[in-house]
Amino acid sequence: MKTVVATLLTISVAIATTYYLRVTKPDGFVRSFNQSYDYIIVGGGAAGLVLANRLSEDADVTVLVLEAGKSESDKPIYDVPYNAPKAQMTEADWIYRTVPQKHAQWGMKNNVGIWPQGKGLGGSTLLNGLVYIRGSRHDYDTWAANGCEGWSYDEILPYFLKTEDMRETDGFDEEYHSRGGPIAISDTTKSEIADVYFEAAKEIGFKVHDCNGNDGIQDGFCRVQAIIGEGQRCTAARGFLHPVLGRDNLHVAIESHVTKVVIENKRAVGVEFIQQGRKKHAAAKREVILTAGTVGSAQLLLLSGVGPKDHLTELGIPVVADLPVGSTLRDHMMFFVKADIDKPISYTSAKVFTPLNWLKYYFFGTGLLTSNAAIESQAFVRTDPDSQAKSPDIQLTLFSTLEEHGDSFDHFNYKDEINEALFRSIHGTEVMPEGYSIDVVLIQPKSKGSLRLVSRDPFDYPLLDPNYLSDAEDIKTFIRGIRYAQKMMKTDALKNLGTKFREIDIPGCREKTPDSDEQWECFVRHLATTIYHPASTCKMGALSDPTAVVDPQLRVKGISGLRVADCSVMPNLTSGNTMAPTFMIAEKAADLIRGITGIKRQKLISELSRARKAKSIASYWTNDGRIFFKVTMESAKVFVKSYDDIAPYVPHSEEGGPGQTDSFF
Ligand SMILES: Cc1cc2nc3c(=O)[nH]c(=O)nc-3n(C[C@H](O)[C@H](O)[C@H](O)COP(=O)(O)OP(=O)(O)OC[C@H]3O[C@@H](n4cnc5c(N)ncnc54)[C@H](O)[C@@H]3O)c2cc1C
């Protein structure tokens, strides 16, 4: 009897300890403050926590992070990858809304769409779809060509690598992936249906590869990589903050809503914020860094007198700097096409949310709950055969389920009759149907919108007008994307699963000819929604660029001691989801702030030392005045500014001398 009790006791203690270790997180948040800090970071989201970690590496500087939301440490539910959609519309979501849209969202109540954005430590990494995709070489080379010096693909790739802790070993290419960074990246789960997508992709001629590798040329088909480690979501808080909460020089304050940047004589000297109903102030000795996201950072600049003169004057806000804050809002949109199948191999809530899967998740980090909402594969396509486009314009994301948002109908603000038409036959059934969804995403939208204040009250949500589908080109691209999705569904591989296209039957489009472009346009204008990637409200550009708010060092033009370093600075949307690029922006920002001109230099030094060991450089070539070299033993593509840097390591017998070019690119 004693042995049985002892065994049961030991098992219980083991279970309790495992559970505790997996679901509890450190706490280290301050409610009392110093008078001043070297750096004040506004917003503890994806970007803010990168900066908190990197800037506080230097023990001599003091850093304060102010986050409006709570810590997520008491909400383990955010960590479960399959729960991603359920984290929306909770207290970790600002639940913004768009203004009524003229050209889109016709199927939504008052043409108003809901815009989730994360609130709490981790920001939108608390509730996002976990997809880790960097965008294309062309995105960044275009940024650089348009005046953002230092932001070309070759220059920013090392910052992607710096963030990453790649957990996969299969096909791991060290030129494009690395281990040991703060954010765990794993391949998503691989259901039986995911294998079939690959067959389908090959059938229609997609190149199957790593969309985060391949020299930044995304075109093709790939598994989805996601911010998952040990089966759990690796939020920015888990990756960047928790390991450094013990640093004495880093203070993190939650439930601290920043209401204004204090700017004196064109210099940011501190911030005002409200914590638990009390107004507080913190002074910045060096810089205030805004990382409050695309909505929050722009809103704060406007409240602080930085923005379009007319708009500020209208609201009675004294103008500190006349800049086009909020004038170039952009967002990606998505549209789902769905198919039923007759094999029981897709995800359904009934199959996923079982007691056994919860046990597997909590104790072993395995099972269906570790799937990021059934998002398993993706394709990047240049759909326009006539265009000279250098990168894809459509992303197809394959969800191995028919359920978009768990079992909720409310996420998109669709009218009741639309909800009925779209979801009743999926969620309102006793046996949930099997199938898959192809999410067609417009990754290079031409439509451009705006963000404006509604009042001087910092707690009033701003007017968010993405102006979706106002550019007719966007509709054409969407329809071409839908045709690709149809093409995939018609492959033998997917037909063999019994693929049956799920007809869309919604009021407003019934009179259109079935499957005509006109009918698809009608569907898209009614049903397409945000895919939650608003960006570009504080656009980066050359000092001379009248559309830019920050310069390529991310400094707000005309104001010293103030930077913006989050998703809002993107000059243009990247081709894919925006979290990985935001991590990269913040990694680079940390170095810009610290005066490090780029880890390109560090990488160069280590590559040169490898070359020294290898005794030679195998080959080199030039491109746009830059010199690239390969060492003999390992393939390492690095560029240097001058031939002199590599000359000592180039053997005399080697072909090519100064000035010789090679058409490698
Ligand atoms: C539902 C959803 C799904 C998504 N899915 C994906 C995906 O699968 N893959 C992907 O790559 N990207 C995805 N994204 C986008 C991605 O998460 C964001 O682009 C990224 O997190 C932006 O980082 P950020 O630092 O700019 O802003 P955020 O991460 O949103 O952080 C901003 C932080 O600032 C805080 N803040 C705002 N205002 C104030 C204030 N006045 N005072 C103090 N704090 C403030 C906020 O509370 C928040 O914590 C998704 C986003 C959402 C919302």
Among candidate residues 541, 123, 48, the one with its CA nearest the CA of residue 327: 541
92 lies in the same domain as 171: yes
What pLDDT does 18 receive?
Answer: 60
- Residue 117 CA, closest ligand 1 atom number: 53
What pLDDT does 175 receive?
Answer: 80
With beta carbons less than 8 A apart as the criterion, state whether 393 and 444 touch: yes
- pLDDT band at residue 653, thresholds of 50, 70 and 90? very low
What pLDDT does 128 receive?
Answer: 96
Instruction: Say what percent of the chain tops pLDDT 90.
Output: 71
Instruction: Say what percent of the chain tops pLDDT 70.
Output: 83
Does the beta carbon of 575 lie inside 6 Å of ligand 1? no
For ligand 1, pick from 241, 280, 579 the residue to mutate: most ligand atoms within 8 Å of CB.
Answer: 579
- Give binding residues for FAD as ranges: 128-131, 258
Residue 61 lies in a domain: no
- Mean pLDDT calculated for residue range 61-71: 95
For ligand 1, pick from 42, 128, 405, 460 the residue to mutate: most ligand atoms within 8 Å of CB.
Answer: 128
Protein residue with its CA nearest to atom 4 in ligand 1: 128
Does the beta carbon of 42 lie inside 6 Å of ligand 1? yes
- Mean pLDDT calculated for residue range 205-221: 94
- Residue 458 CA, closest ligand 1 atom number: 41
Last residue of a domain, one of 543, 569, 584: 543
Instruction: Supply the mean pLDDT for the chain.
Output: 87
- Is the pLDDT at 632 greater than 50? The verdict is no
Residues near 234 by Cβ (< 8 Å), separated by ≥ 6?
A: 183, 184, 185, 227, 228
Last residue of a domain, one of 521, 543, 565: 543
CA distance 619 to 628: 8
CA 291–ligand 1 middle distance (angstroms): 9
Does the beta carbon of 534 lie inside 6 Å of ligand 1? no
What pLDDT does 294 receive?
Answer: 98
CA 431–ligand 1 middle distance (angstroms): 35
CA 124–ligand 1 middle distance (angstroms): 3
CA 352–ligand 1 middle distance (angstroms): 27
- Mean pLDDT calculated for residue range 139-146: 96
| Secondary structure class of 591 (helix, strand, coil) | helix
Which has more pLDDT, 597 or 103? 103
Last residue of a domain, one of 543, 562, 580: 543
Residue 124 lies in a domain: yes
487 lies in the same domain as 623: no
What pLDDT does 366 receive?
Answer: 94
Q: Which amino acid type is present at position 122?
A: G
CA distance 577 to 555: 25
CA 275–ligand 1 middle distance (angstroms): 21
523 lies in the same domain as 642: no
Enter the tokens of residue 15. Answer: 């279970």
Helix, strand, coil distribution of the chain in percent, nearest 5: 30, 20, 45
644 lies in the same domain as 505: no
Does the beta carbon of 533 lie inside 6 Å of ligand 1? yes
- Is the pLDDT at 11 greater than 60? The verdict is yes
CA distance 139 to 116: 25
Across-strand partners of 37? Answer: 284
- Residue 85 CA, closest ligand 1 atom number: 1
- Mean pLDDT calculated for residue range 226-235: 95
- Residue 236 CA, closest ligand 1 atom number: 29
- pLDDT band at residue 26, thresholds of 50, 70 and 90? low
What pLDDT does 358 receive?
Answer: 93
Residue 68 lies in a domain: no
- Is the pLDDT at 623 greater than 50? The verdict is no
DSSP symbols for 454-520? SSS-TTSPPEEE--TT-SHHHHHHHHHHHHHHHHHHTSHHHHTTT-EE-----TTSTTSPTT-HHHH
With beta carbons less than 8 A apart as the criterion, state whether 368 and 116 touch: no
**Interface confidence (ipTM) of the complex:** 0.99
What pLDDT does 625 receive?
Answer: 45
462 lies in the same domain as 367: yes
What pLDDT does 12 receive?
Answer: 67
Does the beta carbon of 303 lie inside 6 Å of ligand 1? no
- pLDDT band at residue 635, thresholds of 50, 70 and 90? very low
619 lies in the same domain as 472: no
pLDDT in tens, 338-360: 999 999 999 998 899 999 999 99
Residue 281 lies in a domain: no
Among candidate residues 226, 196, 221, 203, the one with its CA nearest the CA of residue 211: 221
Phi and psi angles of residue 506, each rounded to the nearest 5 degrees, phi first: -125, 150
624 lies in the same domain as 530: no
Does the beta carbon of 532 lie inside 6 Å of ligand 1? yes
520 lies in the same domain as 634: no
Distances 192 to 9, 196, 497 between C-alpha atoms, Å: 40, 7, 11
CA 31–ligand 1 middle distance (angstroms): 23
What pLDDT does 634 receive?
Answer: 42
343 lies in the same domain as 213: yes
Residue 356 lies in a domain: yes
- We report the CATH number of the domain holding residue 475 as 3.30.560.10
- Residue 123 CA, closest ligand 1 atom number: 49
Q: How many CB atoms lie within 10 A of CB 170?
A: 6
What pLDDT does 16 receive?
Answer: 62
With beta carbons less than 8 A apart as the criterion, state whether 392 and 382 touch: yes
For ligand 1, pick from 53, 88, 124, 233 the residue to mutate: most ligand atoms within 8 Å of CB.
Answer: 124
- Mean pLDDT calculated for residue range 492-513: 95
Among candidate residues 544, 543, 567, the one with its CA nearest the CA of residue 556: 543
- pLDDT band at residue 324, thresholds of 50, 70 and 90? very high
pLDDT in tens, 414-428: 999 998 888 777 766
- Is the pLDDT at 609 greater than 70? The verdict is no
- Active site (catalytic) residues: 533
Residue 70 lies in a domain: no
- Residue 568 CA, closest ligand 1 atom number: 26
Pairing type for strands 529-530 and 562-564 reads unpaired
- Is the pLDDT at 500 greater than 60? The verdict is yes
Does the beta carbon of 579 lie inside 6 Å of ligand 1? yes
What pLDDT does 659 receive?
Answer: 35
CA distance 130 to 145: 30
What pLDDT does 636 receive?
Answer: 43
635 lies in the same domain as 536: no
The lowest-confidence range among 152-156, 517-521, 535-539 is: 152-156
Q: What domain range is 445 assigned to?
A: 76-234+329-543
pTM of the model: 0.89
Does the beta carbon of 282 lie inside 6 Å of ligand 1? no
What pLDDT does 405 receive?
Answer: 63
What pLDDT does 643 receive?
Answer: 54
364 lies in the same domain as 507: yes
Distances 79 to 72, 227, 350, 460 between C-alpha atoms, Å: 9, 11, 20, 30
Residue 365 lies in a domain: yes
Residues 575-604 as b/e (b if ≥16 CB within 10 A, e otherwise) read bbbbbbbbbbbbbbbbbbbeeeebbbeebb
The lowest-confidence range among 55-69, 408-422, 519-533, 545-559 is: 408-422
Task: Looking at mean pLDDT, say which of 7-11, 39-43, 648-652 comes out highest.
Answer: 39-43
CA distance 7 to 521: 65
- pLDDT band at residue 13, thresholds of 50, 70 and 90? low
Does the beta carbon of 71 lie inside 6 Å of ligand 1? no
What pLDDT does 424 receive?
Answer: 72
379 lies in the same domain as 519: yes
Residue 527 lies in a domain: yes
Number of domains in the chain: 2
CA distance 498 to 346: 13
- Is the pLDDT at 633 greater than 70? The verdict is no
CA 351–ligand 1 middle distance (angstroms): 30
Which has more pLDDT, 459 or 594? 459
- Most distant CA atoms of the chain, gap in Å: 85
Does the beta carbon of 128 lie inside 6 Å of ligand 1? yes
Residues near 240 by Cβ (< 8 Å), separated by ≥ 6?
A: 49, 50, 52, 53, 182, 183
